[in-house]
A and B are shown apart, each in its own frame.
Chain A
Amino acid sequence: MTEITTIAPAPVATAATPASAPAPKVENNSIFRHALYVVSENPVTGLSFGLFLLIALCALFGPYIVPFDPLASDTAAALSPPSWKHWFGTDQLGRDIFSRVIVATRLDFIIAITSVALVFALGGFAGIAAGFFLGWTDRIVGRISDTIMAFPLFVLAMGIVAALGNTVTNIVIATAIINFPLYVRVARAEANVRREAGFVQAARLSGNSDFRILFGHILPNIMPIMMVQISLTMGYAILNAAGLSFIGLGVRAPTPEWGIMVAEGAANIISGEWWIALFPGLALMIAVFTFNLLGDGLRDLVDPQRRT
């Protein structure tokens, strides 16, 4: 990746990071060209975009394209290793693991997306409000996120799910809560930098209300950086949700979900049936890997200065 740093950033690059300058209007065409440039310069980023498309397709169409019903058991074919008929083998009830892994994509994806959307709305808003208004708002938001950070995060998520009840919705809520401080930190820092920026002052002088400035001027400007944060936390959200369902929280047994599938295969590892746990685990790994790489790629796109 060292070769990338030596290449001068594309002309749009400076325009895409409004540090203190008013947001210049970047034409869509040049953003697209810049995206193409970043993807072609860094094949890993290209790969991650490709993987992301694959995951999105599985989430959208998975249930319609799989060869077997993910819940149908066939005890005659139980615990058969990967073969032409069952690509990933079958589990102890004879269910086709390939179908289950593909179908599970949607549920894992939905859990991650909803929790990230929730924390983006809450944490992002609290963060920009804290960075913009400072004073009491800042102190209260800061105290809340400090308190959350005082817990080991996964442990707090366990506690929240235990207290609110063992459902998928509560897994989403718990995942959102433990990511809250991350969003607050980024949004606060970015909003604070722009607080006294020229374009904000201009907007204020032309009589815009505080809320209009927050949502109409500051939020659009920090969106690119928040997008990077979203992609990076997606991977973490998937890991967290899978970890919770691995210990038996949230998603219930017959439902295909990666974490619970690994848990079901865990007992069979000792007796050598590796395929039950391996494939959902690999799917989990690829998904997290994709979102992490995608986050790095997006960061290159919106913030060339931080390129690695």
Chain B
Amino acid sequence: MAIMLKRMTLIIPNLIGVIIVTFLLTRALPGDPAAYFAGPAATKESVEQIRKSLGLDKPLIVQFGSYVSELAHGNLGTSLTTGQPVLTEIKNRLPASAELTLFGLILSIVIAVPLGILAAVKQGSWIDHTCRIVATAGVSLPVFFTGLLLVYVFYYILGWSPAPLGRLDVFASAPTQITGFYLIDSLVTGNWSAFRSSLNQLLLPGLTLCIFSLAPIARMTRASMLTVLSSEFIRTARASGLDSRTVIITYAFRNAMLPVVTTLGMVFSFLLGANVLVEKVFAWPGIGSYAVEALISSDFAPVQGFVLTMAILYVALNLLIDLLYGVIDPRVRLEA
């Protein structure tokens, strides 16, 4: 509990930095924001009036104060195109993005970690070479390009996948909302047709994100396993006659996990960005495509809300990773 509090206080400067940066981004709007919000047909007086009502005539520090208090009340502004409060829209769309990102990440961990372990255990074998090729290719592939390739192969040529248009095919209806994750909701309510439909839609975008994040995880697992496997305690364990399965899984892997978990933080940073591109390719109704639509129509409130939400999510994820350290390695707990 004490560590948790300590870690919590550590993220506060980060959060303050994030809020200052997003505030500066709102004030750096090209041209005069008041004239922008007033529209092209506005007179001089109405622009002045809007400037007053937006508080843009006050000093920057006062503006920052009111920005923070708006945030504290959960007010992220209103989208100009849809007329909806940004917070509501983000709340409605977040589960779609989260489901996609987590699905991709879990898929990636399930493939990359065993691949990395095998590559380290059988160094120089074909598994090792596969691992290296996957790692190099994965880093160089633009994520939107991978997505399009998968669509072409699995939708157009093979016809295995449904059209890349959203979370459900046109005939299925959404499961009753519980968590907002269609896979979980449909399982809980026993809605098999919705489950199958949403899984089908999720597979390709999930696979795209998986391929994207495979490389760093596999590479780090391999490197960290190699370091651990060459250490003394592994030799001792082997010499004591433990079977190699116990040595690799219980002894080596547990010790090799820490750097892998550290890499997860970086992977998340890339994943949250890649998510935007994947959502655009697959017309996925998440917060990424919401932000992209807003960007194209120069509707800034949703973009700022999106950047802020992503940053806060990312800070929270890093906190979670910090806490995971303590679970994996008790020494970290003692130091804290």
Contact = CB atoms under 8 A, between A and B. Distances in A.
Contact of A270 (B15, B137, B163, B310): B163
Contacts of A254: none
B274 interface: yes
B136 interface: yes
A162 B300 contact: yes
A248 B297 CA distance: 10
A246 B280 contact: yes
Given A2-B124, A151-B18, A285 B141 contact: yes
Chain B, interface residues (CB within 8 Å), range: 35 or more
Given A158-B291, A162-B295, A248-B292, A151 B139 contact: no
Interface stretch (A77-85, A92-100, A142-150): A142-150
A2 to B, nearest CB: 6
A165 B298 CA distance: 9
Nearest to A271: B156
Contact of B276 (A155, A242, A270, A288): A155
A246 B152 CA distance: 18
B148 A262 contact: yes
B202 interface: no
B310 A152 contact: yes
Contacts of A269: 148, 151-152, 156
B336 interface: no
Contacts of B38: none
Interface stretch (B40-48, B183-191, B265-273): B265-273
Contacts of A249: 295
A289 B140 contact: yes
B148 A277 contact: yes
Nearest to B15: A150
Contacts of B310: 151-152, 155
**Residue among B30, B140, B149, B281 with the most chain A CB within 10 A?**
B140
Contacts of A146: 13-14, 17
Contacts of A277: 145, 148
Contact of A289 (B136, B149, B156): B136
Contact of B14 (A147, A163, A271, A278): A147
B308 to A, nearest CB: 9
Contacts of B137: 289
A150 B14 contact: yes
A147 B277 contact: no
A46 interface: no
B311 A152 contact: yes
Contact of B304 (A159, A246, A284): A159
A163 B145 contact: no
Interface string B13-56: 11101101110111011100000000000000000000000000
Contacts of B123: 2
Nearest to A155: B310
Contacts of B296: 248
B290 interface: no
Nearest to B280: A247
Nearest to B164: A270
B140 A285 contact: yes
A243 interface: yes
A150 B306 CA distance: 14
Nearest to B141: A285
**Residue among A160, A162, A259 with the most chain B CB within 10 A?**
A162
Given A242-B142, A243-B143, A289-B136, A152 B295 contact: no
A52 interface: no
Interface string B295-323: 11010100110110011001100000000
Contacts of B306: 155, 159
Contacts of B164: 270
Contacts of A162: 25, 295, 300, 303-304
Nearest to B272: A152
B284 to A, nearest CB: 13
A207 interface: no
A158 B22 CA distance: 12
B268 A143 contact: no
A287 B283 CA distance: 27
B144 interface: yes
A220 to B, nearest CB: 30
Contact of B18 (A150, A235, A292, A293): A150
A256 interface: no
Given A243-B142, A249-B295, A150 B270 contact: no
Given A155-B273, A158-B295, A164 B314 contact: no
Interface in B160-177: 163-164
**Residue among A156, A281, A289 with the most chain B CB within 10 A?**
A156
Contacts of B314: 150-152
Contacts of B24: 163
A43 interface: no
Interface in A275-296: 277-278, 281, 284-285, 288-289, 292-293
Interface in B114-163: 123-124, 132, 136-137, 139-145, 148-149, 151-152, 155-156, 163
A259 B291 CA distance: 18
Contacts of B18: 147, 150-151
13 contacts: A151-B18, A153-B270, A155-B273, A155-B276, A158-B303, A162-B300, A239-B142, A259-B142, A266-B148, A270-B151, A270-B163, A285-B145, A289-B137
Interface of A: 1-2, 143, 146-147, 149-160, 162-166, 235, 239, 242-243, 246-249, 259, 262-263, 265-266, 269-272, 274, 277-278, 281, 284-285, 288-289, 292-293
Across the A-B interface, the 3 shortest Cβ-Cβ residue pairs: A154-B273, A147-B17, A152-B272
